[in-house]
Amino acid sequence: MSPRERTLHLIDTQSGGDVSRIVTEGVELIPGTSVLEKARYLEREGDGLRRLLLSEPYGDPAMSVDLIVEPSHPEAQAGYIIMEAMGYPLYSGSNTICTATALLSSGMIPMRSDDGLQSVVLESPAGLARITARITDGRVASITTQGEPAYVAEEGLRVEVPHYGEVSFDLVWSGAYYALIDAAAYGFRINAEEQIALTAFGDAFVRAARPGLLQEHPELGDVGPLPFAHFMGEVRGAGPGRLESPSATYVHPGVICRSPTGTGTSARLALMVQRGEIAEGDALETISPRGSRFVGTVLGEAHVGAYRALHSTITGSARLMAHSQITVDLDDPLVDASDLEHVLAVQEATAAPER
């Protein structure tokens, strides 16, 4: 290997159609005393890794990247930094489902040998994700994850969006800030045929809504400009204590998620509880434009600063797609090494075998 080449070890997974690339080896130790500090260091000093793996020719902006790092919390078995087109979300349900599945399936976290439930604790930048993995026939059949509590930050907001007119929305925190929008009010039914139109509307909306919108979290500080819009479809009964609804999450810039998203579902639950539309113990199954499903279940109340918040769980499943090594040539004109080279580990040279 050339001294200007580096190797990254990846496990590619997907949950509900959203691809998450788990980086298991090839990155230097990231400075920081917590996963949040490590994420902010990477954002500030090493964003080249995110750009590399989410851009051609190495990747695609619709994917996500999860870098495995050392946790700081004594309960956590591993830490992970989430990277997406919009930047560095502090928590993500689909990425947590994919990361936990990859860690268990690869043996990085030992998986129980018989069928049953296994508890896993991971540290995201937002804090601990408490996970229950269902193991069936030697594989991870499903993941149920409880992240940080969600809360309604502001209700009844309005913004004038060019070409669309006035748009009403509610602002909810669930690991990032989400603008929740009633899809039917703007002519959407949330199906596969509407994905391009939803993307265009989401892009115009986020650009119009960002100026002056809340960027502070009571405990995490500045969390950056609005990254997500979540389109809410009609809620239908699906059995005792169970509801379902079409849902679509827009990630700025320019991505409609293939899954209904875990944090989008958590945000939806927090708003529904605030409105008295769902009760503790009830579940909402969200359905993406491509037909994939996550189940969000309402748990008990919590508080985040002065906000009344909600604990919930998200249940979904992930599938392994590939184990791979990629070679990064730092002299490749398509690779911006300016904020990348120092975060990639240098492989030790191996001696040639004697003849």
Query: Active-site residues: which are they?
Result: 92
What residue type is 75 in one-letter code? E
Q: How many CB atoms lie within 10 A of CB 352?
A: 6
The candidate with the shortest Cα–Cα distance to 250, out of 227, 269, 266, is 227
Work out whether strand 307-316 and strand 139-146 pair parallel, antiparallel, or are unpaired. antiparallel
Tokens of 41: 């260091």
**Pairing state between β 139-146 and 127-136:** antiparallel
SS3 string, the chain, reads: CCCCEEEEEEEEEEECCEEEEEEEECECCCCCCCHHHHHHHHHHHCCHHHHHHCCCCCCCCCCEEEEEECCCCCCCCEEEEEEECCECCCCCHHHHHHHHHHHHHHCCCCCCCCCEEEEEEEEECCEEEEEEEEEECCEEEEEEEECCCEEEEEEEEEEEECCCEEEEEEEEECCCEEEEEEHHHHCCCCCHHHHHHHHHHHHHHHHHHCCCCCCEECCCEECCCCCEEEEECCCEECCCCEEEEEEEEEECCCEECCCCCHHHHHHHHHHHHHCCCCCCCCEEEEECCCCCEEEEEEEEEEEECCEEEEEEEEEECCEEEEEEEEEEECCCCCCCCCCCHHHECCCCCCCCCCC
